[in-house]
Every structure is written in structure tokens, then in C-alpha cells.
Amino acid sequence: MRSLPSDTEAVVFDCDGLLVDTESCWTVAETAIFAAHGHPFGPEQKALVIGRSLEAAGKAMAQYLGRPDDGAELAAELLERVREELSRGAAPLPGAVELVHACRAAVPVAVASNSPRELLDTALESAGLAGCFSHSFAADEVRSPKPAPELYLTACEALGVAPERSVAFEDSATGVAAARAAGLRVAVVPSLPGAVPDHDWLGTSLAEPELLAWAGGLARDTVR
């Protein structure tokens, strides 16, 4: 396993499935859409949509379901279903709150999410993470969301730190591709069972002691 650099100057977090337990909300919504068209929804189908923007997920579902012209319609249905699921609340994932606070004590932190602003704000608020970041950026605020690098490049620019001096935390191959294209180091806690995306650090939870030790080392460097 590779490691994260101790001279990191900024940290950019994904949100869904990484900081906040919203991936279950998306799965419920996606399962309902597939079922309505007579298809099961399992790991193979989840891999088609995980980490994608609403627009891209709609297109992927439309292709899979044999309705290539209905991507926008399916994306709109997905948004409405996820909105309904998120209204019930979403909890922070293990270690998320602690790691965010440990990182922000040392370096600037941001969120770069492939969710639209509405869902991103709802997720962060529900998990008690609203206001914890210097900046946050959503898919509907850039021209090209993940896997394009724009969200990460925008976040690093706002934080005033070069991408190569920053670390991204991700849970999907789509997000990893975006972070890599932008030039960041990448820590990964996969949401999809069995997935092993490209990474500099790979773990099963943000609560792993190694991560808090790394963040604590950044804080000590800052004090010096």
C-alpha cells in the first residue's frame, strides 16, 4: 500500500458514499427505476452509475434499459427519488466527522461532489458537516463534472493550493479518475464491494487510525 504525503497543503473530499451515507439513498432510487422497467439492480448495475453526475447516470441507465433517448427523463426521475430518500436524513459515515475536523485543523479543506448543489447541501447538513469546509463545489456548478478534472481543479484554485500538493478522498472510480486527471494524490474508501480503484492510499473506512495519524501529522507540521 502506498501512503499519503506528509507535506499535503490541502484536502478535497467527495461527499456521497465517502463522507455521508447517501449511497444507500441513491441505491434505493436506482433500484426502483430499474424495477419499474423490469430489470434487477445489483453490483453490475450499480457500477454503471456510482459516482456519476445525475445527467451521466441518466444516460447510462437509458442505454442499459434500452431507452437511449430518455436519459434526461430518467435523470429527472432519479433526482426526485433521491430527494425523497434524503428528506429522511443521512448519517455521516464512520470517521468522517473526525477526519474532516482533524484535516481542517491543519490545512484548507473543500468538498467536490458530483451531486447537484441541492442534494450536496442536504447531505452535508443532515450529517452535521455543513460549515466545515472552506469551499464546496457541486456538479451543476461546473461545465464538466467528474470524471473530468474541473471540480478538483476548481477546488484547488479556490483553496489557493496546487493540485499536486493536495489530496483527494474518494469512493468511486469516477471520482478517482477526476482527481488523477487534476493531478491530486488520492485516498480511496470504495463504496462498491470488491472495487479497487487507482489509489495512493486504500482503506475500508475513514475511521482507520492511520488516517487520523496522518492528519495529526499535518497539524504538527503546521504548528512548527
The string of pLDDT tens digits covering residues 66-101 is: 999 999 999 999 999 999 999 999 999 999 999 999
User: What is the predicted pLDDT for the residue at 223?
Assistant: 38
* Cα–Cα distance measured from residue 133 to residue 135, given in angstroms and rounded to the nearest whole number: 5
User: What is the predicted pLDDT for the residue at 197?
Assistant: 87
Which residue among 14, 21, 70, 200 is the active-site one? Answer: 14
- The domain locations on the chain are 10-21+90-223, 23-86
Which residue among 7, 16, 140, 221 is the active-site one? Answer: 16
Q: Confirm whether 121 is a catalytic residue.
A: no
The fold for domain 10-21+90-223 equals: Rossmann fold (3.40.50)
Q: How many C-beta neighbours within 10 Å does residue 98 have?
A: 15
Q: Which amino acid is at 26?
A: W
Q: In the structure grid, which three cell numbers stand for residue 204, read together?
A: 475500508
Q: Is the backbone of residue 89 left (phi > 0), alpha (psi -120 to 50) or beta? A: left
Q: Confirm whether 14 is a catalytic residue.
A: yes
Kindly report the pTM of this predicted structure.
0.91
User: What is the predicted pLDDT for the residue at 53?
Assistant: 93
* 112 pLDDT higher than 90: yes
